[in-house]
Amino acid sequence: MKNIIFIVGPTATGKTELSFNLSKQIKAEIVSCDSMLVYREPKIITSKPPEKILKEIKHHFINIISVKDTYDVFQYYIEATKVISDLYLRRRPVVVCGGTGLYMKAILDGIFKGSSRNDKLRQNLEKEAKEKGNLSIYNKLKEIDPPAAEKISPNDTKRIIRALEVYYTTGIPISKKQKEKRGLWGKYPIKIFGLTMERKILYEKINKRTEEMFREGAVEEVKNLLEMPLSITAQKIIGISEIKGYLEGKYSLDYARNLMAKNTRNFAKRQFTWFKRDKRIQWIDASCKDKCFNYIIRNLE
């Protein structure tokens, strides 16, 4: 198998099952591309693959750290590209599976080691943008890093602030730092398949899956998680804040379940938006599992 295969797309589209079946067929190892599966403790709210699947097929980047620890995209990029390269050079088929778009992009296109976050600086820049308008901070970026300013919209406050933060904390323009990026795209043969389906069907699947999570013990799982000092990244797992509100008596169990389903649907919508921007992805309707599987097999030949 000469290609490194990516199976990506929004949550609940069936990536886990498809990747497992594909990996069995081509005798591949799976590299998880999901920022929440790295944590050991949560299983239900992260829809972690069953133990049977994890034992039958070798998986990487699942259950590697505790929710007490922080794990970022740069760490993932360094470790994942090393694992994938090593497997490829040993002629071991690789299936990269997941829905974290930033992780996928890091593997494919690389990511530079940025400066550490400076909250005080960000707050000052946000305040300036709010009081004086975006052009105030955008003009600063044009002064210190014209190439970056050309690529960033004057209305994109978040990216302008990040570019200024990198310069003010490192002394190096972000446009120069970005040239340090090295990914696997162009280095190895890669095929990327994106799973999609009609929004109405997907949202129904998300609603049903959320109900199943609550039946399987999501509340008890979150209760146990909240007894630990959760890292900033772990706190972002969908289900924690929603169920926490119920445990604190702020609203009913039904409200918590509906809120979790709603936030998951919104997350899926954001995933669609992210992945649709990448023209390298071949999109497949995942409504019919067999057709989806056969399409990928045919396109690997």
Tens of pLDDT, residue by residue over 101-158, are 999 999 999 987 765 678 889 899 999 999 999 999 999 999 999 999 999 999 999 8
Q: What does the pLDDT read at residue 116? A: 63
Please, which residues bridge with residue 8 across strands?
A: 98, 194
What tokens does 74 get? 């740069």
Which pTM does this prediction carry? 0.86
The angle formed by the CA atoms of residues 7, 61 and 299, to the nearest 5 degrees, is 20
Tens of pLDDT, residue by residue over 50-97, are 999 999 999 999 999 999 999 989 999 999 999 999 999 999 999 999
Domain ranges for the chain, please list them: 4-112+190-300, 119-177
Tens of pLDDT, residue by residue over 7-28, are 999 999 999 999 999 999 999 9
Q: What does the pLDDT read at residue 1? A: 59
Look at phi and psi of residue 49 and say left if phi exceeds 0, alpha if psi is from -120 to 50, else beta. Answer: beta
Q: Which CATH class name applies to 119-177?
A: mainly alpha
Q: Is the pLDDT of residue 98 over 90?
A: yes
- Tell me the residue ranges of DSSP E strands in the chain: 4-8, 29-32, 59-60, 94-98, 190-196, 281-285
Tens of pLDDT, residue by residue over 161-187, are 989 998 998 888 988 887 777 899 999
Q: What is the average pLDDT across 223-245?
A: 96
CATH number belonging to domain 4-112+190-300: 3.40.50.300
- Which amino acid is residue 106, in one-letter code? A
Q: Is the pLDDT of residue 301 over 80?
A: no
User: Distance between CA atoms of 228 and 223, rounded to whole angstroms?
Assistant: 9
